[in-house]
């Protein structure tokens, strides 16, 4: 290695979408390097046989390499695959699930279907959280450069709803007009920390959340009046106060300044009210495919009883309810339980019971029987305690919705002696990123 420059060929893609080069010095992970490409790599960080680098010069280029649509894709770092064809990205996501099943779950003969693609993998995000700052005495907004507090200014993001950009531009202009300083992360001064925008695909409603370091600011009423006059598409505005020195964006205290304080969207014909803090899938087009696939694999019957575990706001439980005898949704977070109950009322769904409880403790206390369990755990996956509880009540079918293939693989291995894995279906919920959602269906083995 000379001057931290090394030549190599990409032989694999890591779980985070980085190119993998194997050398006598160890493994080098390289941003934006595609499978089969040869390049000169500048090593930027190294320790204990593992290094990270960036492309200095491409020697052999992949046929899947394209010119990024986003001019700041390299600097921003929010998208992994802006420089690759969508077909390449989909192949990678299928491969990622296959490799995790083999390497982590020791599941050798499980067929993984091709990832369900998005017809147009752009401008899909219905929720954005944008920090504001100052550059050359002008208010700017964008995204933090990876592992820094430096804002990369943007003028339109390729994966965000197009309706967000004009609103962000208007807010920046009004901040300058009303002398409202953006928050400074280093000095903990200023007023506006972030702006959160949520959009509805079905109703075209738009929510704007101003996240502030202070309880109010001079001229706030005039600011809101002018913002809603100039951007009439805004449905509601919420003022959220976050005074903590934290990476958590939203604070506990908030006030509705304009509109009703929530927006409404639909999934597979059901309506869902979305507040500033509600969990709701960020890709409203692909979520129809994700939950549609989960319901199809569950093979629901009118006589079935269903457990919706790790229920969140009970989205999948509410979607399942019209097709079955009864659904029990179990969720530990109180605010999510309240959202779920409100959405059940909104859709006039009466055959669902929503419990505020830990799903493991609920099963162990009640020992109920369910024909089907639909589980959608967080990225860290399930727990041995919950999986043991499942093995105790032995539902006929389990549908596992996962946002992390490695923990899915670990949990499937735990269940494989009692359950046959019949389907593994990746769904591309987050185009241009390395993330992949997966739905797995398990059938109880006959003894």
Q: What's the farthest any 2 CA atoms get from each other in the chain?
A: 73
For the stretch 378-385, contacts whose Cβ atoms lie closer than 8 Å and that sit 24 or more positions apart, written own/partner, are 378/310, 378/403, 379/403, 379/404, 379/407, 380/404, 380/407, 381/407, 381/408, 381/410, 381/411, 382/310, 382/407, 382/411, 384/414, 385/360
How many C-beta atoms surround the C-beta of residue 401 within 10 A?
Answer: 21
SS3 230: helix
* Catalytic (active-site) positions: 403
- Which of these, 425, 439, 409, 434, lies nearest to 115 by C-alpha position? 425
C-alpha to C-alpha distance for 423 and 264, rounded to whole angstroms: 33
d(CA 188, CA 111): 52
Q: Which among 195, 50, 115, 165 has a CA at the least distance from the CA of 433?
A: 115
CA angle 33, 34, 35 (to 5 degrees): 130
């Amino acid at each position: 290695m000379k001057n931290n420059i090394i030549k190599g060929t990409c032989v694999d893609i890591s779980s985070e979408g980085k190119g993998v080069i194997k050398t006598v010095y160890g493994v080098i992970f390289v941003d934006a390097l595609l499978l089969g490409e040869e390049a000169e790599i500048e090593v930027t960080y190294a320790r204990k046989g593992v290094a990270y680098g960036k492309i200095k010069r491409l020697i052999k280029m992949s046929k899947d390499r394209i010119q990024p649509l986003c001019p700041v894709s390299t600097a921003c770092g929010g998208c992994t695959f802006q420089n690759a064809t969508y077909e390449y990205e989909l192949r990678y996501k299928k491969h990622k699930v296959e490799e995790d099943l083999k390497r982590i779950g020791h599941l050798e003969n499980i067929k993984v279907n091709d990832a369900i693609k998005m017809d147009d993998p752009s401008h899909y995000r219905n929720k954005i959280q944008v920090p504001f700052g100052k550059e050359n005495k002008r208010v700017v907004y964008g995204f933090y450069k990876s592992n820094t507090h430096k804002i990369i200014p943007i003028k339109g993001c390729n994966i965000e709803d197009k309706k967000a950009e004009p609103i962000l531009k208007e807010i920046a202009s009004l901040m300058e007009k009303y002398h409202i300083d953006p928050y400074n992360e280093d000095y903990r001064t200023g007023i506006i920390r972030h702006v959160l925008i949520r959009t509805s695909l079905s109703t075209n409603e738009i929510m704007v959340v101003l996240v502030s370091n202070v309880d109010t600011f001079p001229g706030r009423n005039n600011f809101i009046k002018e913002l809603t006059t100039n951007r009439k598409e805004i449905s509601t505005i919420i003022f959220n106060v976050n005074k903590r020195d934290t990476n958590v964006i939203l604070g506990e205290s908030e006030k509705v300044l304009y509109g009703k304080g929530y927006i409404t969207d639909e999934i597979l014909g059901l309506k869902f009210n979305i507040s500033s803090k509600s969990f709701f899938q960020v890709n409203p087009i692909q979520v129809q495919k994700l939950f549609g696939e989960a319901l199809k694999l569950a093979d629901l019957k009118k006589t079935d009883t269903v457990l919706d575990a790790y229920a969140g706001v009970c989205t999948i439980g509410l979607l399942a309810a019209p097709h079955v005898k009864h659904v029990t949704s179990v969720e530990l977070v109180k605010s999510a339980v309240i959202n779920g109950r409100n959405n059940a009322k909104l859709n006039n769904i009466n055959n669902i019971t929503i419990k505020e409880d830990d799903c493991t403790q609920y099963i162990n206390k009640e020992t109920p029987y369910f024909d089907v369990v639909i589980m959608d755990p967080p990225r860290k996956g399930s727990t041995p305690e919950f999986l043991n509880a499942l093995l105790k009540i032995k539902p006929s079918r389990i549908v596992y919705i996962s946002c992390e293939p490695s923990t899915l693989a670990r949990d499937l291995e735990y269940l494989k002696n009692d359950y046959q894995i019949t389907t593994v279906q990746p769904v591309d919920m987050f185009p241009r990123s390395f993330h992949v959602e997966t739905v797995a269906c398990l059938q109880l083995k006959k003894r």
